[in-house]
Amino acid sequence: MIRLSVPNIGDDEVMAVERILRSGQLVHGEENERFETELSAYLGAPEVVVVSSGTAALHVALAALGIGPGDAVIVPDFTFPATANVVELLGARPVFVDVEPGTYCLSVEGVRRAIADWSGPQSLKALMPVHEFGAPADMTPLMALAAQHGLHVIEDAACALGATIQGKRAGTLGVAGCFSFHPRKALTTGEGGAVVTSDPDLAKRLRLLRNHGIERGPMGTSFAMAGFNYRMTNFQAALGRVQLRKFDGWLSARRTLKDVYLEALGDIPGFSLPADLPGHSWQTFMGVLDASLDRGRVIERLKAAGIEANLGAQSVWSQPYYRDRYGPVSESWTSVRLFRQGLALPFCETMSPEQLRLVAATLRAVAEDTLHEA
């Protein structure tokens, strides 16, 4: 079976984790501090706070900015639902906005309209662009809109470690950027995540919220605020540090391999390619099937040929919880079409160009067959 993606774990990762396991220092320790310093250098962000998942990163970022009841936060409708879930969990209101067909990222026009049309009762406080699958969101106009309307920008860069936007790393443009190190992402610590910021006061609150609100002073330990336990373990950080040393090589391999896909998948009937944006980190490779092709059937056929494929991401508003709470999403939204017809194909840096060409040839045959049957 050609899998969608396989975590890239070598002997040096195993040895690094073993060393920490044998040291007995399993919770927050020196490896966490070092991983933060190294991520900070890699991203060019002054402050990095590593946490237990990408969702935890999003949750503490919003909490540290004081987002709560009475607030509304703009999120793209096409993403992993955690982006909107954290807004709900803080008692705030997610405001869904449609995405662009080729980049799968927030529509700037949609955001402009959502701001103009917003009539409360909550007040708009923040904008959360998602760099979907590593594709940089259109940050220049989004940052301008946010500045004009006094919105905090929190980047969901869960998929976008290494992506760049006009020479800066994705995740470093907003007041906070959130990363995930889940095994489905390009760099993994098992579970894990990080918040990056250049605001030292925000970083201080993030650190308190990560660790029960504990402050250590000359008089001992005190609890300065009500916090979570969102710490990353010391051995996860050790794993992340080894991964980070190899990461630029992986990123450039992904960028070479996506060209193989773009060429081999080029003119498959009923299948459109993702936009080839500069700075894309290609965490996931998702194309979109025409309505004439039944995705379930295409996935089944690929599976029968030994190729794993699946949907790329959700229309969050289409999910039962959000539909029940906020009514039905507009059927004409691009996010709904992407949710129904998006097709994520196997893609990671350990794949060979031959494997990618095999996937493309198989998809071509399946698409032609399926179109013929219809």
Ligand X SMILES: *Cc1c(COP(=O)(O)O)cnc(C)c1O
Comparison of 187 and 208: residue with beta carbon closer to ligand X: 187
Touching ligand X, residues 317-346 (CB under 6 A): none
Out of 49, 95, 130, 209, the residue judged to bind ligand X by CB under 6 A: 130
Out of 172, 180, 188, 314, the residue judged to bind ligand X by CB under 6 A: 180
Short-list 114, 65, 109, 116, CA closest to 94: 114
Least distance in angstroms from the C-beta of 191 to ligand X: 6
Out of 59, 169, 182, 205, the residue judged to bind ligand X by CB under 6 A: 182
Least distance in angstroms from the C-beta of 193 to ligand X: 5
Comparison of 192 and 227: residue with beta carbon closer to ligand X: 192
Least distance in angstroms from the C-beta of 159 to ligand X: 5
Out of 193, 274, 287, 312, the residue judged to bind ligand X by CB under 6 A: 193
Nearest residue to ligand X on Cβ basis? 54
Q: What is the 3-state secondary structure (H, E, C) of the chain?
A: CECCCCCCCCHHHHHHHHHHHHHCCCCCCHHHHHHHHHHHHHHCCCEEEEECCHHHHHHHHHHHCCCCCCEEEEEECEECCHHHHHHHHCCCEEEEECECCCCCCECHHHHHHHHHHCCCCCEEEEECCECHHHCCCCHHHHHHHHHHHCCEEEEECCCCCCCEECCEECCCCCCEEEEECCCCCCCCCCCCEEEEECCHHHHHHHHHHHECCEEEECCEEEECCCCCECCCCHHHHHHHHHHHHHHHHHHHHHHHHHHHHHHHCCCCCCEECCCCCCCCCCCCEEEEECCCCCHHHHHHHHHHCCECCECCCEEHHHCHHHHHHHCCCCCCCHHHHHHHHEEEECCCCCCCHHHHHHHHHHHHHHHHHHHHHC
Touching ligand X, residues 135-164 (CB under 6 A): 156, 158-159
Short-list 205, 158, 195, 159, CA closest to 175: 195
Comparison of 32 and 53: residue with beta carbon closer to ligand X: 53
Out of 2, 31, 50, 53, the residue judged to bind ligand X by CB under 6 A: 53
Show the site string, 68-107: x = touches ligand X by CB under 6 A, - = not: -----------xx-xx------------------------
Least distance in angstroms from the C-beta of 182 to ligand X: 4
Least distance in angstroms from the C-beta of 343 to ligand X: 17
Least distance in angstroms from the C-beta of 146 to ligand X: 19
Short-list 17, 9, 157, CA closest to 80: 157
Comparison of 78 and 268: residue with beta carbon closer to ligand X: 78
* 210 in contact with ligand X (CB under 6 A): no
Amino acid at 285: F
| # binding residues, ligand X (CB under 6 A) | 14
Comparison of 52 and 362: residue with beta carbon closer to ligand X: 52
Q: Supply the residues annotated as catalytic.
A: 185
Comparison of 82 and 293: residue with beta carbon closer to ligand X: 82
Instruction: Tell me how far apart the alpha carbons of residues 145 and 74 are, in angstroms, rounded to a whole number.
Output: 12
Least distance in angstroms from the C-beta of 167 to ligand X: 23
Comparison of 184 and 204: residue with beta carbon closer to ligand X: 184
Binding region for ligand X (CB under 6 A): 53-55, 79-80, 82-83, 130, 156, 158-159, 180, 182, 193
